[in-house]
């Protein structure tokens, strides 16, 4: 069953994101994460290397998860810096491997001259994927996810003027099946984004993408990378704890509260950004698993 179909079940899904390792230590960390979590989640997404060998490493991780035979794998694809022909080859390889779930992303800004055959937007990538699907299968077999960014909406008085919502509408029109939010820390950011998307006519399910709230250094780094501020109340709690175990417990409690809030708000699933660290993510997986019985 594809990911889009899973989201129509009554129970919320829980899933994880992992990324290709860059060192032997990273390989061990990834293996531990998969060993501990694959059998406990509904699907796994694998992030995308920017070029060359990094893309091949992504495919190796995808194959590894598929070989475990437990859950669907969502393979990330980025279009900036890659021409349509190269993307066709990459997608063809993933389809040959058995992948049927894809996450279509614009990707980071590419240095150097633009590829004359290249794509510039994620909705163009969705269109290309649907075209490949029609050519290869002559029917709908792919589940295509796209990114959603709720964190910036709070600063926009008029949701209709929020560029990411307009981009989400374009991606839906191109054939996207579901959205995955980028990181956020307040349930109101999620609910306002989804409500605004519905007002724009975007009807796809939007999975809540969350990060464990146990590592203050990682959270501060994430804030720098995404521009989404981490609430001071979260950092204050973590910074007060000098004992690692107590800090982990405090962060897990805050993460649990956010998971329960987004599920109560109607999120069809929770997608956990693990950073290839299984312990904190595993605690939140358990929260989602007991949530339906608790509601």
CATH of the domain at 81: 3.20.20.220
Over 50: is that where the pLDDT of 40 sits?
Answer: yes
| Other C-beta atoms lying within 10 Å of the C-beta of residue 141 | 11
Task: Domain of residue 179: give its range.
Answer: 3-294
What DSSP string runs through 53-73?
Answer: HHHHHHHHHHHHHHHHTSS-E
For residues 39-57, one letter each, b for 16 or more C-beta atoms within 10 angstroms of the residue's C-beta and e for the rest, the string is ebbbbbbbbbbeeeeebeb
Whether the CB-CB separation of 208 and 267 falls below 8 Å is answered with yes
**From CA 143, how far away is CA 175, in angstroms rounded?**
9
Per DSSP, helices labelled H in the chain are 3-6, 24-37, 52-68, 84-97, 122-137, 163-174, 187-199, 216-226, 232-240, 244-264, 278-294
Question: What are 166-220's pLDDT values in tens digits?
Answer: 999 999 999 999 999 999 999 999 999 999 999 999 999 999 999 999 999 999 9
CA–chain centroid gap for 158, Å, is 26
**Mean pLDDT, rounded, for 34-40:** 95
pTM: 0.93
Residue predicted with more confidence, 12 or 115: 12
SS3 at position 103 = strand
Question: What are 41-98's pLDDT values in tens digits?
Answer: 999 999 986 554 466 788 999 999 999 987 999 999 998 878 899 999 999 999 999 9
**From CA 207, how far away is CA 27, in angstroms rounded?**
28
Whether the CB-CB separation of 244 and 170 falls below 8 Å is answered with no
Q: List the one residue out of 108, 106, 227 whose CA is nearest residue 176.
A: 106
pLDDT of residue 8: 83
Structural domain total, the chain = 1
Whether the CB-CB separation of 70 and 34 falls below 8 Å is answered with no
SS3 at position 214 = coil
**From CA 147, how far away is CA 193, in angstroms rounded?**
12
Whether the CB-CB separation of 29 and 277 falls below 8 Å is answered with yes
CA–chain centroid gap for 75, Å, is 10
């Amino acid at each position: 069953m594809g990911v889009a179909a899973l989201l129509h079940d009554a129970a919320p899904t829980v899933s994880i994101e992992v990324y290709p390792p860059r060192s032997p230590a990273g390989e061990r960390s990834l293996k531990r994460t998969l060993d501990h979590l694959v059998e406990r989640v509904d699907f796994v997404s694998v992030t995308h290397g920017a070029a060359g060998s990094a893309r091949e490493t992504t495919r190796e991780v995808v194959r590894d998860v598929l070989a475990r035979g437990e859950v669907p794998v969502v393979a990330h694809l980025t279009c900036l810096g890659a021409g349509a022909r190269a993307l066709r080859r990459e997608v063809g390889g993933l389809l040959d491997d058995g992948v049927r779930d894809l996450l279509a992303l614009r990707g980071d800004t590419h240095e150097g001259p633009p590829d004359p055959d290249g794509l510039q937007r994620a909705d163009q990538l969705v269109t290309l994927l649907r075209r490949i699907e029609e050519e290869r299968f002559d029917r709908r077999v792919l589940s295509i996810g796209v990114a959603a960014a709720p964190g910036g909406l709070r600063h926009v008085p008029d949701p209709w003027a929020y560029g990411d919502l307009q981009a989400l509408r374009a991606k839906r029109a191109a054939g996207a099946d579901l959205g995955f939010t980028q990181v956020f820390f307040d349930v109101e950011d999620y609910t306002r984004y989804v409500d605004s998307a519905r007002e724009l006519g975007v009807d796809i399910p939007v999975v809540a993408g969350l990060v464990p709230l146990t590592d203050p250094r990682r959270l501060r780094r994430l804030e720098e990378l995404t521009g989404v501020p981490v609430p001071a109340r979260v950092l204050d709690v973590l910074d007060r704890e000098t004992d690692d175990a107590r800090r982990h417990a405090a962060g897990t409690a805050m993460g649990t509260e956010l998971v329960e809030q987004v599920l109560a708000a109607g999120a069809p699933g929770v997608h956990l950004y693990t950073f290839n660290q299984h312990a904190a993510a595993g605690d939140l997986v358990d929260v989602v698993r007991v949530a339906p019985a608790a509601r």
